[in-house]
Amino acid sequence: MPQYLTSALHLNLQSTSRDGRYKADTPSLCAIAFFFILLAPSWASARALEGPADGNAATPVAVTTDAALPDTPPAPAEAQPKSFASSLGTAIKTIGEDELHIIKSPFSVNALKWDALVIGSTAILIANDESVAHQVSPGWHDTSINISNAGVYGLGAAAGGIFVTGLITHDDHAIDTGIRSAEASVDSVILYAAMKAILARQRPYYGTGEGKFFSGNWTAGSFPSGHATLAWTLASVMAHEYPNWPVRLLAYGVATAVSTTRVTGGVHFPSDVFAGSVIGFGVGTYVSHKDRQQLMVPRAQNRMKRVENAVLAHVAIQ
């Protein structure tokens, strides 16, 4: 079982009040679930590495020869559990390597056509963002925000539940799914938080609602949507780990609902949620497959598999 990712992820998702001002939410169910997802692997590993109890120690076998064997090699030392500091260092190194791969991926030659498609689609959406924002009824705001929050919380709870269930039932695949969900979430949070601070886009409800970039609104930027990024990250990991249509429809359906309701909630523009969805899907796909062999399937496979493999080739830079 992987022994990384022991740092705690604390996501303080934000919602918007009707008068357009931010208010901080209480710690979400996602944050609590991921706290245990991140720490439990180290606890479990430490327990597995503990030496046998004194009462269960094996009885030494008596030597029947007349003379003792000379230069008997010493018994190997018992494996010691990793310290918290060592595990934390491994987690930080893993996340750093992930971020480096993800940042490098758009600059590969094979990714150019996907870069053009994403940038072109984002540009078209940005050009129409303001008109779409003006068509959103204020009466939709509260309900939409509640739906988007519930969707993210639900996906986080599902990932945490899969992990805990794996610990209880000793299901390595479920444990690995929970750990990958946590790793991908940390990767996504770092990425979208940095983009928000750098691009500093205005929210739809701010000023004239034009969504200007580099407006100085770096503490609560609009681009990309954090809710959409995190929802698609979690949905992508679970859909790739359990690749059957019921799971995919449910996971991606919830992620789509989260993205849509961030727009109808009046807190994001369409381009914000599109960019967040692309980032989340890409990060989730990368983390799900980064250390696995034979990732590509023949071209005869269905179109959905081809799209997933193309995204994977886009982000899996070695």
pLDDT in tens, 136-166: 888 999 999 999 999 999 999 999 999 999 9
Of 109 and 151, the structure prediction assigns the larger pLDDT to 151
Q: Which of 1-5, 92-96, 292-296, 302-306 has the lowest mean pLDDT?
A: 1-5
Whether the predicted pLDDT of 102 surpasses 70:
yes
Whether the predicted pLDDT of 309 surpasses 70:
no
Give residue 84's pLDDT: 65
Of 44 and 91, the structure prediction assigns the larger pLDDT to 91
Nearby residues of 265 by Cβ (< 8 Å), 6 or more positions away? 16, 140, 141, 142, 144, 145, 147, 148
Mean pLDDT estimate for the chain: 74
| CA angle at 272 for the pair 280 and 24, rounded to the nearest 5° | 85
Q: How far is CA 153 from the centre of its chain?
A: 13
Question: Which of 191, 188, 194 has the alpha carbon at shortest distance from 234?
Answer: 188
- CA–CA gap between residue 117 and residue 251 (Å, rounded): 24
Of 293 and 267, the structure prediction assigns the larger pLDDT to 267
Q: Name the CA radius of gyration of the chain, rounded.
A: 24
SS3 state of residue 14? strand
Q: For residue 87, with 0-12 CB atoms within 10 Å meaning exposed, 13-18 middle and 19 or more buried, which class applies?
A: buried
Structure tokens at 58: 């094996």
At residue 45, what is the residue type?
A: S
Model confidence at 81, pLDDT cuts 50, 70, 90, reads low
- The structural domains of the chain, with segments of one domain joined by +, span 14-45+106-315
Model confidence at 194, pLDDT cuts 50, 70, 90, reads very high
